Structure 1
Amino acid sequence: MDVDKGYLYKFQRFSAWSGFLVMAVVGVCFFMLSKVQPPIDPEWSGQQVKDWIVDNRSGILWTTVICSFVIPLEYFFVVTTSWQMRRIERGWGVLTMTQVLTGVVAPIGFFYPMFILSAAAYRAAGRSPEILQLMTDLFYFAYVGFAFIFCLQCVVIGIAVLIDRRTEPIFPRWFAYLNFTLAVVLAPGAFIYVFTSGPLAWNGLFAFWLPCLAYLVWKVATPLLLLKAVKSEEAETADEAVPVLV
């Protein structure tokens, strides 16, 4: 007896939307609640950093609480993206598995930096400015600089899109170039460790603002394309299930 796969497609649709939900919630928390975005000036003194952390203590801690509940949904998004890439490679190929492994790291890129900043904020009033400045450096090094790892993820997704030779491709070809563009835009994040000012500092145009904008476009486009891909998969399954009359 055939298994009803209807629930699988429903779950994939939920997973596609979960990626957008994570971006929306994290964006609100980071920009409005904890105010870690836009990033602070890397050249701030220790006292300026301490004052900023003390002023935003509640927002930082509550951001971590909220993210603890929301960010795990990113795994659904990652798996569904990988599943649709699997259709292109017709199995768990190199590109699909690389997407899985790099995608698994994605939630850590949000979680781990916030743990560091929360540890700083937890007892901020009683800590020295120098220690808080060090922990804030660690936060931005991990949060902004960590984005470089997603260059590989974007590249493998883009390659997968281009090698799809279906009559009706799972993803449109322009999605490949969007991924390649995001990979290029994310690359300057690797230079924040040697600059404290200018476009390559952690608050700079090339290290933060352009990647932030490109990621926003990608995180809106990808769920919509995943929904379309799930629809095409469902249609293919329905066609295969139709009995052939001889």
Structure 2
Amino acid sequence: MSRAPRDGGLAARLREQWRQNPKLELWLAWWTMVVFYQIFGIVFVLMTRVMPPPKPWWEPERVAQWFADTHDGLVWGFGIIFLISFMAPACNALIGYSMRRMSVSPVFAYSYIAIYSVSAFPGMLLAALLLCAGALRPDRDPQIISWLYDAAFMTFVGTMGLFLVGTAVWMVAILLDKNRVFPLWFGYLNICNLLTEVVVAPAWIFKAGPFAWNGVITFWIDTLVFAVYTAVFIALLRRMTVRDDLREGPLPETPQLATTASLRF
């Protein structure tokens, strides 16, 4: 009795997708975005304990103790962040591609990619460098350790001007777009995310209260809005990738059979 031929398993399916899927680059960029945000959350929340941030009013000695308590998490966690930082351009590129499918000028896409490529430094890498500098040299003067601590968290929480401009570029592109790559309501949701970048500015002034870097408004509400916003745009980018026909003009409402192959794991 003959047996049905085996499909070769996951490796064979991946090879087939690699050779035949016309949207392979889009799916790789989308999955890279998903993986990046998962690792980002694990590192910043569980390993380094940077989110939620510690207290801004701690004395230098207490700050030095925090560095000692979180030493291994800071070193290993931010080592992972440095290794995966190459994923961020793939995320920006997919969003830039979405703007190239819109009816607006290509300047929007290139501006967004340029702005968000630069914003990775104040939004992620600078804080990692400063906290690693404090963790790797525990013998420093506690005053210097405290300065590194303040600079890291004020940078991580309070330096959002580049994100504000990048979000505004995406918002305007969506609202002007006639191809309806994204629904209009998502353009207005960008306004909510944009406003969160405004209210973090007082973190440079206040050490306590809702506008401190660990405050209810500056951190907790902003983080909730950003988490919802991120989940929404990841879902919409997946929908765009499924609908994409690799042509110009409006996206089809129902994807064509020839171009809907996706990476299924």
Task: Please confirm whether the aligned pair reaches a TM-score higher than 0.5, indicating the same fold.
Answer: yes
* Compared CA separation, residues 100 and 209, structure 1 to 2 (3 A): same
1:38-117 matches, within 5 Å, as 38-89=52-103, 91-93=105-107, 95-108=108-121, 109-117=123-131
Pair 1:180 & 2:191 matched: yes
Please state if 1:128 is matched with 2:122: no
Give the match's secondary structure for 1:42: coil
Per-residue displacement from partner, 1:1-47 (whole Å, max 9, x unpaired)? xxxx9656211122123222222111111111111111111110001
Q: Encode CA deviations 1:112-152: one digit per residue, 9 max, x unaligned.
A: 2101110110011x122111100001101111112332111
Of 148-157 and 126-135, the range deviating more from structure 2: 148-157
Give the % identical residues: 24
Q: How far, CA to CA, are the matches of 1:102 and 1:206 in structure 2?
A: 25
Q: Which runs of 5+ in 1 are unaligned?
A: 242-246
Unaligned runs of 5+ in 2: 1-18, 249-254, 259-265
Runs of at least 4 residues off by over 4 Å: 5-8, 235-239
Which one has a bigger Cα radius of gyration?
2
> So what's the TM-score if we normalise by structure 1?
0.87
Provide the residue aligned with 1:211 in structure 2.
222
Structure 2 match to 1:147: 160
Counterpart in the other structure of 2:6: none
Counterpart of 2:201 in structure 1: which amino acid?
A
Alpha-carbon distance, 1:236 to partner: 4.6
Q: Does 1:18 align with 2:29?
A: no
Report the counterpart of residue 240 of structure 2 in structure 1.
229
Give the whole-Å Cα distance in 1 for the aligned partners of 2:111 and 2:220: 27
Give the conservation status (yes or no) of the 8 Å contact 2:174–2:184.
yes
The match for 2:213 is 202
- The verdict on how the C-alpha distance between 1:7 and 1:112 changes in structure 2, with shifts beyond 3 A counting, is farther
Structure 1 residues 68 and 142, CA, compared in 2 at 3 Å: closer, same or farther? Answer: same
Instruction: Give the Cα–Cα distance (whole angstroms) in 2 for the partners of residues 227 and 196 of structure 1.
Output: 40
Q: Which amino acid aligns with 2:149?
A: T
- Two-structure CA RMSD over aligned residues (Å): 2.2
Distance 2:117 2:243 in 1: 25
More helix by share: 1
TM-score when normalising by structure 2: 0.81
Q: Which moved more, 1:41-50 or 1:156-165?
A: 156-165
